[in-house]
Amino acid sequence: MFSKVRVISELQALLNESEDGRAKSVNAGLENYFRKLGAALSHTHSWAFTPTERLHVLLREKAHAEDVAGLNKAYWQDLSQSIDASRHFFLKRSYPLVESSVFLLNSGNLLSAGSVVRSLFELAIWSLQHSGTFKNTVKDELPRADAATHVMGATGLQDIVTKLIWGTRLKERTTRNRELSQMHIIDQFKKIAKREDRNYIEPMYDFLCELCHPNAVGNWLFADSNDVVNEKSEIEILISASQNGAEAEQTIAHLCGCLCWSVTALVDANEQYDKALGLIEKKFDLRSLIH
């Protein structure tokens, strides 16, 4: 199933002329995505968590018994399960977006591909940013204390993972529970752009938004301006149903470049999740969550 998800040779020939190395490497990026993540993409993940009230009761019991190690283990077992669940939500969401992006590109439906690729780009940014936060926080904070003698909470990480899984922008839901108000994607883009390639990420997102909105780039997928001669008293431009107009080649290159960046970022994010969960597992002697 996965081996067939690749950009067709006709598009690859066009991409070979692109100045964007990521666009040229889109099929290699897709192959790496399926090789590294295929098992996780295809299997059903089991997420075991303790309801909040029950967890609080359990932690109070451990505290009353002065079982610091047991308290830490119960808390971090539950938190690590939720962190792993957020990883699998991202992975499961990514495949239909990748599959649809490639299908739409191969069929020449660039306008629709733009919307799907933008969604994939946002997902990849979201996953890369937060997996990095999990990894760095656990790496920097956990080694400082002994799990047998010091209670180690992670309110910041708990808040993040709650928003990643339950967060929403729907007012009818956030009105009832403000803690579920989701973070802004633009803020996450800025954080990633600072440490990644600002000159690629920001212009790429601007282009995707331009394509998805009823602006010039999308318009000129349906018409060509090559025959425009300003000296003529009247100019005739044919607006056709096919998407092979003046902006087609640039759009194909940008979409394939963004697709390659996104699947690569998802692979990197998965590795960061593994590192974060591995550190938690080792610190608190938990069962393995690494895949």
Residue 1 lies in a domain: no
Helix, strand, coil % in the chain, rounded to nearest 5: 70, 0, 30
Contact 69, 147 (CB under 8 A): yes
Residue 7 lies in a domain: no
Predicted pLDDT at 287: 72
Look at the chain and report how many structural domains it folds into. 1
User: What number of residues does the chain have?
Assistant: 291
Residue 21 lies in a domain: no
Residue 172 lies in a domain: yes
Whether the pLDDT of residue 14 is over 60: the answer is: yes
Residue 278 lies in a domain: yes
Residue 119 lies in a domain: yes
Q: Which residues have CB under 8 Å from 152's CB, separation 6+?
A: 72, 75, 76, 141, 142, 145
Residue 9 lies in a domain: no
Confidence of residue 29 (pLDDT cuts 50, 70, 90): very high
Query: How far is it, in rounded angstroms, from Cα 152 to Cα 137?
Result: 13
Which structural domain, as residue segments, surrounds residue 89?
49-227+238-284
Window from 39-53, 149-163, 201-215, 265-279 with minimum mean pLDDT: 149-163
Residues 106-165: tens digit of each pLDDT? 999 999 999 999 999 999 998 998 999 999 999 988 877 888 888 888 878 888 888 888
This prediction has a pTM of 0.89
Rounded to an integer, the average pLDDT of 83-102 is: 96
Residues 185-228: tens digit of each pLDDT? 666 666 776 666 667 888 898 999 999 999 999 999 999 876 66
pLDDT averaged over every residue in the chain: 87
269: DSSP letter: H
Residue 280 lies in a domain: yes
Whether the pLDDT of residue 75 is over 60: the answer is: yes
Whether the pLDDT of residue 277 is over 60: the answer is: yes
Rounded to an integer, the average pLDDT of 45-55 is: 89
147: DSSP letter: T
Query: Which has the closest alpha carbon to 116: 208, 24, 4?
Result: 208
Contact 216, 238 (CB under 8 A): no
Contact 27, 5 (CB under 8 A): no
- DSSP, collapsed to helix, strand or coil, labels residue 181 as strand
Burial state string for 260-280 with b = 16 or more CB within 10 A and e = fewer than 16: bbbbbbbbbbbebbbbbbebb
Predicted pLDDT at 174: 65
CA 251 from chain centre, in angstroms, equals 21
- Bin 108: left if φ > 0, else alpha if -120 < ψ < 50, else beta: left
